[in-house]
Structure 1
Amino acid sequence: MSLLKLENVTKKFGGLTAVSDIGLTVEQGQIYSLIGPNGAGKTTLFNLVSSIFPVTSGRIFFDEKDITEVPTHALASLGIARTFQNLAVFKHETVVNNILVGLHSHLKADPFSAAVFWGRARNEEIRARERAEEIIEFLEIEELRDLPVGTLSYGQQKRVELGRALAVRPKLLLLDEMVSGMNQEEREEIGRFVLDLKEELGMTVFMVEHDMGIVMDISDHVCVMNHGAKIAEGTPDEVSNNSDVIDAYLGSRRKSA
Structure 2
Amino acid sequence: MSALLSIERVSKRFGGLTAVSEVSFAVPEGAIYSVIGPNGAGKTTLFNMISALFPPSEGAIVFDGQAVHRARTHQLARLGIGRTFQNLAIFSHATVVQNLLVGMHHALKANLLSAALFWGPARREELAARRRVEEIIDFLEIEHLRDLPVGLLSYGLQKRVELGRALAVGPKLLLLDEMVSGMNAEETEDIARFILDIRDELGVTVVMVEHDMGIVMDISDRIAVLNHGSLIAEGTPAEIAADPAVIQAYLGRN
Q: Fold-level match, TM-score > 0.5?
A: yes
Stretches of structure 1 that go unaligned for 5 or more consecutive residues are none
Stretches of structure 2 that go unaligned for 5 or more consecutive residues are none
SS at match of 1:72: coil
Write the mapping of 1:166-205 to structure 2, written as runs, cut at 5 A: 166-205=167-206
Task: Please give the alpha-carbon distance, in whole angstroms, between the structure 1 residues aligned to 2:197 and 2:149.
Answer: 26
Moved over 4 A (4+): none
Structure 1 residue 126: Cα displacement: 0.5
Task: Please give the alpha-carbon distance, in whole angstroms, between the structure 2 residues aligned to 1:162 and 1:212.
Answer: 20
Write the mapping of 1:102-181 to structure 2, written as runs, cut at 5 A: 102-181=103-182
Task: Please give the alpha-carbon distance, in whole angstroms, between the structure 1 residues aligned to 2:225 and 2:92.
Answer: 34
Task: Please give the alpha-carbon distance, in whole angstroms, between the structure 2 residues aligned to 1:202 and 1:171.
Answer: 8
Task: Please give the alpha-carbon distance, in whole angstroms, between the structure 2 residues aligned to 1:187 and 1:250.
Answer: 20
Structure 1 residue 68: Cα displacement: 1.3
Structure 1 residue 251: Cα displacement: 2.2
Write the mapping of 1:242-253 to structure 2, written as runs, cut at 5 A: 242-251=243-252
Aligned to 2:65: 64
CA distances 1:166-197 after superposition (whole Å, capped 9, x unpaired): 00000000000000000000000000000001
SS at match of 2:41: coil
Query: Match of 2:224, as an amino acid?
Result: C
Structure 1 residue 110: Cα displacement: 1.3
CA distances 1:41-73 after superposition (whole Å, capped 9, x unpaired): 001100000111221111110001111100001
SS at match of 2:9: strand
Aligned to 2:241: 240
Query: Match of 2:19, as an amino acid?
Result: A
Structure 1 residue 244: Cα displacement: 0.3
Aligned to 1:74: 75
Query: Match of 1:195, as an amino acid?
Result: L
SS at match of 1:21: strand
Structure 1 residue 91: Cα displacement: 0.5
Aligned to 2:43: 42
Task: Please give the alpha-carbon distance, in whole angstroms, between the structure 2 residues aligned to 1:98 and 1:128.
Answer: 12
Task: Please give the alpha-carbon distance, in whole angstroms, between the structure 1 residues aligned to 2:250 and 2:69.
Answer: 30
SS at match of 1:5: strand
SS at match of 2:131: helix
Aligned to 1:23: 24
Query: Match of 2:148, as an amino acid?
Result: L
Task: Please give the alpha-carbon distance, in whole angstroms, between the structure 2 residues aligned to 1:112 and 1:143.
Answer: 35
User: TM-score if structure 1 supplies the norm length?
Assistant: 0.97
Query: Match of 1:216, as an amino acid?
Result: M
Aligned to 2:102: 101
Task: Please give the alpha-carbon distance, in whole angstroms, between the structure 1 residues aligned to 2:102 and 2:209.
Answer: 24
Task: Please give the alpha-carbon distance, in whole angstroms, between the structure 2 residues aligned to 1:38 and 1:184.
Answer: 22
User: TM-score if structure 2 supplies the norm length?
Assistant: 0.98
Task: Please give the alpha-carbon distance, in whole angstroms, between the structure 1 residues aligned to 2:249 and 2:146.
Answer: 43
Task: Please give the alpha-carbon distance, in whole angstroms, between the structure 2 residues aligned to 1:224 and 1:41.
Answer: 10
Aligned length in residues: 253
Structure 1 residue 198: Cα displacement: 0.8
Structure 1 residue 204: Cα displacement: 0.1
Q: Percent identity?
A: 66
SS at match of 1:201: coil
SS at match of 1:130: helix
Task: Please give the alpha-carbon distance, in whole angstroms, between the structure 2 residues aligned to 1:202 and 1:123.
Answer: 26
Query: Match of 1:128, as an amino acid?
Result: A
Query: Match of 1:108, as an amino acid?
Result: K
Structure 1 residue 108: Cα displacement: 1.1
Task: Please give the alpha-carbon distance, in whole angstroms, between the structure 2 residues aligned to 1:27 and 1:114.
Answer: 40
Establish whether residue 87 from structure 1 lines up as the match of residue 117 from structure 2: no
CA distances 1:76-109 after superposition (whole Å, capped 9, x unpaired): 0000010000000000100000000000011111
